[in-house]
Amino acid sequence: MGGDAVLTINERSGHGLVPWTLRDRHVFIGRGGDRSASFLILLVLAALCLAGCLGGKTGDEPWQNAAGDGPRLSVVVTLLPQEEVARAVGGERVFITVVVPPGVEPHTYEPSAAQIVQISRADLYLRLGPGLLPFEDALVDRLKTLNPGMRIVDTSRGVSPITMPGQGHDTAKGVDPHVWLSLAHLRLMAGNMADAFIAADPAHEEAYAASRDEYIARVEDTDRRIRGLLLGMEGKPFLVFHPAWGYFAREYGLVQVAVGEDGREPGARGLSSLIARAREEGIRVVFAEPQYDTRGSEVVAREIGGRVVLIDPLAPDTLANLERVASEISESYGGMKEEGENRDPGH
């Protein structure tokens, strides 16, 4: 009764889904009252329970490579737009989990303790980038404690950040976090992800490199189509409720004009100024997002005799989404042009 119990963690523990860094470990459970050891044991047991409940390996194996030449890499990404890039580059050799669920606002998201333990079992965490989302920075700190051997990759490495004034939830360390809303940045992210996959799975370097190049070719095709849609619109403003589109605007020479900051409506003076500018510029569309209340946008739209159009910065089909947004912005001016051409010049 007075001896130590031994908990052995091996490859079969938790249906094989325990992190590599915790496998083949012997954890001694004594009576010495070592709180740090007890805490580690509780985390291990939680991981095993989650593995059994959430990651059972029966039937068609989600962790098994469809090609049959080894297990998939277990990969976690922060946001849905990253998933498209990771899936395009990793193909059937990666199994992807997204931290922030669809329809949830990432700036205020907080993952549960159970979700953090589940994430810690992955081979790779493809984070958006340091200082972009506060919850992600805190999550990375937790993951380093739970699984010190986990590979954590900055997918936005090399991007050209936009600094933002103020201290709202969109301005962690003064940087616009919406780095994925730029085709130039998506090229970089694809390269960063490919490098991470190759480092973790060097046997399939050629496959990852080829998939990266194919995705970058798709990015370049999308870029050409968007430039065609926005031809001659350099310097044109577009009105948004939430200022998520700064990188997109910079890339195509547009001017993003924000109705609100941090999801809040502007004051009476700010609203009056925006309406006057919209009328002066001939803006007839207010772009809103499904994650925010649209009532403020509807007020502005009524005042300028326009309409509200929803555009989603978190849409999962990243390339198609950017092309849709370009089309909506182009249409917001093209529609006015057509009206002007049809109007009787005598009135």
SS3 39: helix
Q: What is the pLDDT of residues 198-243, one digit of tens each?
A: 999 999 999 999 999 999 999 999 999 999 999 999 999 999 988 9
Do the Cβ atoms of 282 and 336 come closer than 8 Å? yes
CA pseudo-torsion sign 234, 321, 107, 89: negative
Over pLDDT 70: what percentage of the chain? 71
Q: What is this structure's pTM?
A: 0.77
Distance CA 98, CA 160 (A): 24
- Spatial neighbors of 186 by CB under 8 A, at least 6 apart, are 85, 180, 219, 318, 319
pLDDT band for 69, please (50, 70, 90 cuts): low
Examine the pLDDT at 271 and tell me if it is beyond 70.
yes
Mean local confidence (pLDDT), 192-201:
98
| β-strands 5-9, 25-29 pairing | antiparallel
Max mean pLDDT range (38-52, 77-91, 249-263): 77-91
Do the Cβ atoms of 308 and 288 come closer than 8 Å? yes
Distance CA 276, CA 270 (A): 10
Least confident of 41-50, 87-96, 123-132: 41-50
Do the Cβ atoms of 88 and 190 come closer than 8 Å? yes
Examine the pLDDT at 14 and tell me if it is beyond 70.
no
Q: Higher model confidence: residue 273 or residue 322?
A: 322
Over pLDDT 90: what percentage of the chain? 59
Do the Cβ atoms of 344 and 333 come closer than 8 Å? no
Distance CA 209, CA 90 (A): 9
- The segment(s) of the chain belonging to CATH 3.40.50.1980 are 73-226, 231-342
Mean local confidence (pLDDT), 257-261:
77
Examine the pLDDT at 340 and tell me if it is beyond 80.
no
Nearest to 89 by CA among 44, 37, 126, 134: 126
What pLDDT does residue 19 have?
A: 46
Name the CATH topology of 231-342. Rossmann fold (3.40.50)
Q: Which residue has the tokens 């480092």?
A: 199
Q: What is the pLDDT of residues 85-107, one digit of tens each?
A: 999 999 999 999 999 999 898 98
73-226 homologous superfamily: Nitrogenase molybdenum iron protein domain (3.40.50.1980)
Cα 10 to chain centroid, rounded: 33
